Structure 1
Amino acid sequence: MSITQKMIDDAFARSEDRRNGLERDYLQKIGHLRSKSEDFHNLKCARVTAFILENYSVEIDEGELLFGRYTTAFRPTPAMEDEYRQACLVWDGAGALKGSDVGSTGHRAVDLKKLLKTGVKGILREIAEEKQKLSAYDGADVGKRVFYEACETALQALCSYGRRVRSTLAALAAAEQNPARRAKLEAMAQNFSAAPYEPCKHFYEALQCAWFATFCMALTGDITLMGHIDDYLFEYYEKDIRDGIITKDFAFTLLEHLYLKHNEVFNSWPASIMVGGVDESGRTICNDLTYMAVEAIRTTKLVNPSVAVCYTDGLPEDLLRSCVDCISEGYTRPSLFNDSLIRKGLRDAGVQEADACRYIHSTCVEITPVAASNIFVATPYLNLNRIFEHLFAGKPYKVGRMNHIAMSYADDGDDFILARDVPGGLGGITSFDAFFSLVKEFIAAHIDAAALRILEIVEYRRRYYASPLVSAFMGCCIKSGLDSSAGGAKYNFVYPAFPGVINFIDSLAAVKKACFDEKLLTLEELALACKANFKGYERIRQYLANRCPKFGNDIDEVDSIAREVHETLYACMQKYTTALGGKCYPSYFAWIMHGVLGKMTEATPDGRPAATALSEHLGPVRGMDKNGLGAVVRSIAKLDQSKGIGGIATNVRFTKDFVSDGKDRRAVCDFIRYFMASGCFEVQFNVVDGKELVEAKKHPEQYRTLMVRVAGYSDYFNNLADNVKDEVIARYEYGAV
């Protein structure tokens, strides 16, 4: 048994169905309206969560083996629409006090292993034990009591939803005339006969329970990730295989259905699954489910889940080869993460050894310890290239404000202005060291301004956000009696991201060579060229772009600048501690923000024209890698990437011809081992012809499911902005390693 092309097509169609969010949005708003009198924000959030779970429809179609996706049949009556309009007015007017805003959604994984082992019953028992310790005479325990009540409310609603699912599936089975389909529906109903309230006993039940919890958290607006499925699901698989309860083929089919569900629920938003790595004893995790997780990428063919392999020295050669085979066929996944380097970075950041072994790449490449985290990812996106607009173009230097909810960079409105005079003007700068020193002052000022907003946002979320269902699946929160957003999580790191950092480094190298080493033009002349977007200065642009050294070519002169920028960013960010005790760590990936910020950024001294996409990863700017992949690795290895637990992406694009035979694929395996041994963080691949990408841009309707690696994640090419499409097209295609 396996999935069919129709199932894949249906999953893709469901992922793009505009009706997906209608019922969830309706229930959220009505739930908020009906709980508006609740004073405590986390209890209000729990009641909204419960209202959604207790009323959301149960929808299942023929062919599905796992329950849990958005419904499309929701049709509100006129009376419901009237109440919804009233609810929206209350929602919109509530502001920070609405009490339904969830915490660090989308960038963490909860303790699904514990859920499968103890069931919700065990977690409720643990909460009851902690409540027994509270004092009726201590005001400090009031907040804990409220937190525990919120968790109980959310957990009970989860179980209530599970019972409704079981009842619906049993009724469908009883009415089903086809014996084969009836048996499948009965098996699906059986998965909910005990779980999620009771512990799981079998693989099918455990997989369904883990997905059901994941789906419910997404449904209530508090997205979590499934983590290391080859770790916590393997004991159920192994036992069922040994006892003859399940076959390997059926287990693989279930995993395929899990992948289809990821596409239906998350569409192209990168929902992570990780496999491999090591356990707490340092033993490599590798089993049947590890291999299946890679193989299912090929058979399901869609963009989700965002599968990654934690690379260790003990990773079997045939598993690595399977990864390369999958990539060679154009599937863009899995990406590969350097497990030992990441664990070192986590330990250096104060993560306990047991937690350092359990981490997830939370959507793109950012690292989040499982079941213990309230991480602020890409908070904010910072564009260092704006510094040149002040130094060269005479503009006030602005650091955009961040939205409290999205925590995104917004380069408009009331920006922080960091205008200051350049002592003596540009003509007064007589050495590159003096110029670089001034630039580093602006880096520090840039981060200072951003840090102020970061600290405000963390405090804002501590006061007004809550995640009762997610927090219930984090033992540290239950032990402390605090919501994950309010200090209950062990780890509260902040990861500012720096799209365009390589443009910034290349620009510094260009300034050094053009204005100080060779003295071909003055800083004032370079400023005029950039301000004019190189109109009338094309020879200068060509010189800056093609004759000045570029990062990623193993040139010590520019790589030393990169190392100093990296160390400066790290040192500047380490000065700050949030209200939750979290420190800041840099990240070098961009999601789509290299396109967004690039459109806002004027021409830069590396020869990049205005409005074009910025660099998206830790590697050469597209088209600037001239000395081969070995040189790329040697350049980026000069940076201490263990300090980049915020996430570091390195993109590599191969030609289809190169990876078409076994010898070349073995060479790619060798390259991956060399990459990891050199101390590099993560590598991800594209295997797609440039001509195909050009055609896809011209005729998008013919390439609906064409996937590419962007800047830390995979997406459908059609989803990208035009300047990001151009960036992907312009990447260098390697025909050898």
Structure 2
Amino acid sequence: GKLDQHLEPFYEKDIEEGRLTREEARELLENLWIQFNNQPAPPKVGITLKESGTYTDFCNLNTGALRPDGTSGVSDVSYLILEVMDEMKLLQPSSNVQISRKSPEKFLREALKVSRKGWGQPAMYNSEAILAELSYLGKTVDDARESGICSGCVEVGVAGKEAYVLTGYLNIPKVFELAMNRGYDHYTDKQVGIDVGDFTKMTTYEEVFDAFHQELQYVVDVKVAGNNLIERMYMEFMPVPLLSVMSDDCIKVGKDYNAGGARYNTSYIQCVGIATITDSLAAMKHNVFEEKTMTMQELLDACEADFENYEEIYDRVYNDTPKYGNDDEYADTLLRDVAASLQEVIAGRPTPKGSKTVVEFLPTTCHVYFGQVMEASPNGRHKGIPLPDGISPEKGADRNGPTAVIKSASKIDQTKTGGALLNQKFTPSVVAGEAGITNMASLVRSYFALDGHHIQFNVIDRDTLLKAQKHPKEYENLIVRVAGYSDYFNNLEKALQDEIISRTEQAFG
């Protein structure tokens, strides 16, 4: 929750009455940070480890958010939290700052000075976008202003008043892969989707997109049916009396938290890989149907061969096709179309306990696992290579700088989601000095003016990461931003390390 606002009246009273100094308050907060790190998440195994390979417990603090009356919530406690965060450099709590139009510029700059040190905290969130999202999801203004980011990544919720449940991840480009193969999955050698037609016989791009939409509808129907079955099991067999006592309206309506007793009930489906499918659709539309530089059969054959002996096709789809992340209206129009399809088949679907299903763009670490179970994609992504995280562009596709990235990302209507994660990577030299902070602050303000939900930074160079991978004992304390959270680089599996290393290193100007 909003720790600075919760502590502020106690802090001011103790300071005023001489019971506490600012330095003593800082030391108390540092002790609290240590206690957070004495509560590690339980080890994960099997498929759960592959989908979310982290041991952080996802406790997220909102700092500097709007107050219930709509004014800026930045106080001396907010700055204390930034100082503690900077001093302790611990994984938990996951700390974010909420930046609104009313936030003092000093607060944003101080937060970015911490972020610039390269260990992944704090993340930046848009207060106005959060309020718009919560309002879209049916929260009152008063309840929306009391809350913010209520878990360890990017999802919005009303703390103490809402049962919001993340129901697992949806691999969007895998759905397209199934459509390309008439519902057949080469990874499992099984027919797992529906036959939406032979792509080689389709004569227009619109037929291709319609085939994807049909496959998406089928896959989401299966996923929602599974979600509802699990939800009914929780309703009947897994009551949570303590959580129910602590959540508004459960006692009032006489229902358990897991049975729909909370004031608000929301189910999120976390969508992954929207950049990959956008670029894949662009590759087909541009090269097969418009420029006619290749046939559909040739492109499908190239994907099946992982582009081996198809160098010319690879070069065209990878280097000579419009890509998301470059403020290219051709690609970004297709992005909007995919986002609209996701909204159409997911948003608003009811669940047994009365939840509303919501689209969210959050991968945790499963973008790595999802890539491992896929063939090569029409955009030139090789077999087994991780998908991009959140709404971040494909690695190496964003070639026009960070401002082009935020302009492309903002073309998704993020105010009608439960959150959308965007990672950016800079080398330390790019953000050095006061000019570096000014550029970062301008980037954040600009993205949030475009209704972006969230942005976060890795500030580290490729060579350091390669050395850490080769000599892990020399870099035991190296922390990086993974998705919506930070983790020790050495704790990450090699595939995830490689994915972070391969992210585009952006520069201003």
Q: TM-score, normalised by structure 1?
A: 0.65
| Corresponding residue of 2:140 | 352
For residues 10 and 78 of structure 2, what CA distance do their matches in structure 1 show? 14
1:214-261 Cα offsets, whole Å, 9 max, x none, are xxxxxxxxxxxxx11111121111111111111111111111111121
Secondary structure in 2 matching 1:492:
strand
| SS of equivalent residue, structure 2 residue 20 | coil
**Where do 5+ consecutive residues of structure 2 fail to align?**
41-54
CA displacement 1:139-191 (0-9 Å, x = unmatched): xxxxxxxxxxxxxxxxxxxxxxxxxxxxxxxxxxxxxxxxxxxxxxxxxxxxx
Q: Map 1:472-621; keep pairs closer than 5 Å.
A: 472-621=245-394
Which residue type is aligned with residue 11 of structure 2? Y
Pick one of 436, 446, 466 that aligns with 1:674.
446
Where do 1:331-410 residues align within 5 Å?
331-357=119-145, 358-377=147-166, 379-393=167-181, 396=184
Q: Distance in 1 between matches of 2:390 and 2:172?
A: 14
Q: Aligned residue for 1:709?
A: 481
Q: Which amino acid aligns with 1:273?
A: L
The correspondence for 1:449, drawn from 217, 222, 229, is 222
- Write out aligned runs for 1:51-450 (5 A): 227-266=1-40, 268-357=56-145, 358-377=147-166, 379-393=167-181, 396=184, 417-422=192-197, 425-450=198-223
CA contact (8 A) 1:263 1:305 kept: yes
Q: Is the contact between residue 618 and residue 636 of structure 1 (CA under 8 Å) also seen in structure 2?
A: yes
1:651 maps onto 2:426 in alignment: no
Moved more, 425-434 or 336-345: 425-434
Question: Which residue in 1 is equivalent to 2:499?
Answer: 727
Question: Any idea what the Cα deviations from partners look like across 1:4-49, whole Å, max 9, x if unmatched?
Answer: xxxxxxxxxxxxxxxxxxxxxxxxxxxxxxxxxxxxxxxxxxxxxx
Distance 1:306 1:412, change over 3 A: farther
**Could you tell me how far apart the structure 1 residues matched to 2:267 and 2:308 are?**
40
Q: Report the CA distance between 1:412 and its aligned residue.
A: 7.4
CA offsets 1:674-708 (integer angstroms, 9 cap, x no match): 11111111000110111000111112222122111
Aligned to 1:32: none
Cα 1:568–1:419 change in 2 (3 A) is closer
Alignment partners' CA distance in 2, 1:371 and 1:606: 44
Provide the C-alpha distance between the structure 1 equivalents of 2:431 and 2:290, rounded to a whole number of angstroms.
42
The alpha-carbon deviation at position 393 of structure 1 amounts to 4.0
| 1:427 to partner: Cα distance | 2.9
Q: Which residue of 1 aligns with 2:463?
A: 691
SS of the counterpart of 1:571?
A: helix
**Aligned letter for 1:417?**
V
Could you tell me how far 1:345 is from its partner in structure 2?
1.2
Instruction: Report the Cα distance in structure 1 between the residues aligned to 2:348 and 2:107, rounded to whole angstroms.
Output: 42
- Greater shift, 688-697 or 447-456, is seen at 447-456
Matching residue's letter, 2:135: R
SS of the aligned residue for 1:382 comes to strand
The CA deviation at 1:562 is: 0.5
Offset at residue 719 of structure 1 (A): 1.8
Inter-partner Cα distance in structure 2 for 1:641 and 1:421 = 30
Determine helix, strand or coil for the equivalent of 2:484.
coil
Aligned partners of 1:475, 1:374: CA distance in 2, in Å?
A: 10
Specify the alignment match of 1:185 in structure 2: none
**Per-residue deviation at 1:619?**
2.5
Could you tell me which amino acid in structure 2 is paired with residue 576 of structure 1? R
Name the structure, 1 or 2, with higher relative contact order (CA <8 Å, separation 6+).
2
User: Could you tell me whether the CA contact under 8 Å between 2:179 and 2:195 is conserved in 1?
Assistant: no
Residue 426 of structure 1, CA deviation? 2.4
Q: Secondary structure at the match of 2:125?
A: strand
Runs of 4+ in 1 over 4 A off after TM superposition: none
Partner amino acid, structure 1, of 2:87: T
- Distance of 1:461 and 1:720 partners within structure 2: 32
Matched position secondary structure for 2:157 = strand
Change (3 A) 1:275 1:421: closer
Native 8 Å contact 1:533 1:610 kept in 2: yes
Q: Structure 1 residue 280: deviation in Å?
A: 2.0
| 3-state SS in 2 of match to 1:444 | helix
Q: Which has the higher strand share?
A: 2
Q: Distance in 2 between matches of 1:651 and 1:477?
A: 37
Contact 1:393–1:531 under 8 Å retained in 2: no
When the two chains are superposed, the root-mean-square deviation of aligned CA atoms in Å is 1.8
Q: Of 486, 490, 493, which residue of structure 2 is paired with 1:718?
A: 490
The superposition leaves residues 375-434 of structure 1 with CA deviations (integer Å, 9 ceiling, x where unpaired) of 111x22111222343343455259xxxxxxxxxxxx979x99323251xx2232001112
Kept in 2: contact 1:273–1:306 (CA 8 A): yes
Q: 1:246 to 1:412 in 2, by over 3 A?
A: farther
Q: Distance in 2 between matches of 1:638 and 1:385?
A: 19
Structure of greater Rg: 1
Letter in 1 for 2:14: D
SS of match in other structure, 2:496 = helix
- In the alignment, which of 600, 605, 622 is matched to residue 395 of structure 2? 622
**What SS does the corresponding residue of 2:255 show, helix, strand or coil?**
coil
Quickly say closer, same or farther: Cα 1:475–1:589, change in 2 above 3 A.
Answer: closer
Aligned residue identity for 2:500: V
**Displacement after TM superposition at 1:664 (Å):** 1.7
| Distance in 2 of aligned mates of 1:447 and 1:591 | 20
Judge conservation of contact 1:270–1:305 (CA < 8 Å) in 2: yes
Q: CA deviation at 1:517?
A: 1.1
Aligned residues of 1:397 and 1:419 also touching (Cα < 8 A): no
C-alpha displacement of 1:538: 2.6
